[in-house]
Amino acid sequence: MLVDDLNDLTNHHKSHCKLYADYVASMFPKGQAEQLADIPFLPVRAFKEFTLKSVPDDAVYKTMRSSGTSGQFSQIFLDKQTALSQTRALAESFADYFGKGRFPMLVIDSESTVKDRLKFSARTAAINGFSMFSNKRCFALKDDMTLDLESIRTFLAVNSGKRIFVFGFTFLIWSTFIQELKRRKQTLPLENAFFLHGGGWKKLEAEKVSNDAFREAIHETTGSSSVHNYYGMVEQTGTIFIECEKGHLHAARQGAALARDPRTHKALDHGVTGLLQVFSSIQGSYPGHSLLTEDIGRTYAGSSCGCGRGGTIVEIDGRLAQAEVRGCSDAYP
């Protein structure tokens, strides 16, 4: 059971990360959790403000960073086993939606994003992570982040008739790909392609771009009707929520979610709007298995969706106001 796995991880991190142990002792004195709502949660902002890891320095295989704002970014420390678990979990989720195998991959980003190891970011991690499902890769943007239409057309000609995997961050796909194709009055033959995108919705919301409008614009410029949003974060890499064909974001097998009241942190029923808490049973090298995010939304039972997937559904409204978010991290000892 997921609760048992999460209890084991809580005990593991308490034994190997003193800062986390002190935090749990002061905020969650109760013993073993009997349900998800009782699992101790860590505000996701903690990874921006503290060094949290449950492995010795010489066991750190990779350090990942979020794309932080105001000079702050999360640092996530992975050992080889956790990195492998994240890869396996991601592969399982991907195959459930798009099938097994590798595809020609069109990345809506520049190659410089993944080349500079000193600027390793959430975008770098996402591109490299999803690239394991590619057999050829083309970057749609030049280093100055302008559309490289000539390279794209060459790539599509070489892979004519094949199923193409298009990946990118939501705002980049909208601003540098869709809008630029419209500006140039161009279309691309991507009828057989599937799009996977995530992140950057805040900027689109400011421009009054809905998920439906985003999907329609992709269909208009590429012919593709297979467009899937995903919700995830560098602090819980590998365990993502992918949008099904019915338009619902489902938790992976290794994960789940619930909502909490932003002020009291009381767990809320399905359908009630609150602060989202996300779970992952694979984060062994750092205490990232139960995180209170800064995202406002609701959860629903996976069984309520007609797609047949059982994972918890999340609906996300946006980010909690920054001033209120600090109330969660201030609970830290």
Q: Given this model, what pLDDT does residue 331 score?
A: 30
pLDDT for 327 equals 30
302 and 216 inside one domain: no
**113 belongs to a structural domain:** yes
Residue 56 lies in a domain: no
**Co-location of 218 and 264 in the same domain:** no
Is there a contact between 22 and 55 (Cβ–Cβ < 8 Å)? no
User: Is 107 among the domain residues?
Assistant: yes
Predicted pLDDT at 333: 30
Do 97 and 222 fall within a single domain?
Answer: yes
The DSSP secondary-structure symbol of 197 reads: E
> 137 and 264: one domain?
no
Q: What is the mean pLDDT of residues 13-35?
A: 94
> In 93-157, where do the E strands start and end?
103-110, 134-141
On average, the pLDDT of the chain sits at 90
227, 255: one domain: no
Q: What percent of the chain has pLDDT over 70?
A: 91
Round to whole Å and give the CA distance between 24 and 261: 20
Listed residues 197, 231, 265: the one ending a domain: 231
Residues 128 and 216 in one domain: yes
Does 161 fall in a domain?
yes
258-264 — which CB contacts under 8 Å span 24+ positions?
A: 258/36, 258/37, 258/299, 258/312, 259/297, 259/298, 259/299, 260/41, 260/292, 262/296, 262/320, 262/324, 263/327
Instruction: Give pTM, 2 decimals.
Output: 0.89
Provide the pLDDT confidence category of residue 120 given band limits of 50, 70 and 90. low
pLDDT at 64: 84
**Domain end residue (candidates: 208, 231, 254):** 231
Confidence grade of residue 115 (pLDDT, cut at 50, 70, 90): confident
CB 299 within 8 Å of CB 286: no
Domain assignment present for residue 52? The answer is no
Residue that finishes a domain, picked among 231, 260, 285: 231
Q: Which domain holds residue 148?
A: 85-231
**Does residue 222 share a domain with residue 112?**
yes
Find, among 96, 21, 64, the residue nearest to 255 by Cα.
96
pLDDT tens, position by position, 182-212? 999 999 999 999 999 987 666 666 677 788 8
Rounded to whole angstroms, the Cα distance separating 261 from 273 reads 8
Q: Based on the domain organization, do 106 and 222 belong to the same domain?
A: yes
Task: Give the residue-averaged pLDDT of 97-109.
Answer: 96
Please spell the DSSP secondary structure of 269-310, one letter per residue: -TT--EEEEEEES---SSS-SEEEEEEEEEEE-GGGSTT---
Domain CATH code at residue 284: 2.30.38.10
Number of domains in the chain: 2
241: in domain: no
What's the CATH code of the domain at 162? 3.40.50
pLDDT of residue 329: 30
Residue 221 lies in a domain: yes
Q: What is the pLDDT of residues 197-253, one digit of tens each?
A: 987 666 666 677 788 899 999 999 999 999 999 999 889 989 999 999 999 999 999
At position 18, the amino acid (one-letter code) is K
Pair 129, 218 in one domain: yes
Residue 108 confidence (pLDDT): 97
Backbone angles phi, psi at 302, to 5 degrees: -60, -30
Same domain, 217 and 275: no
The answer as to whether 176 is a domain residue is yes
- Residues 135 and 271 grouped into a single domain: no
Same domain, 95 and 191: yes
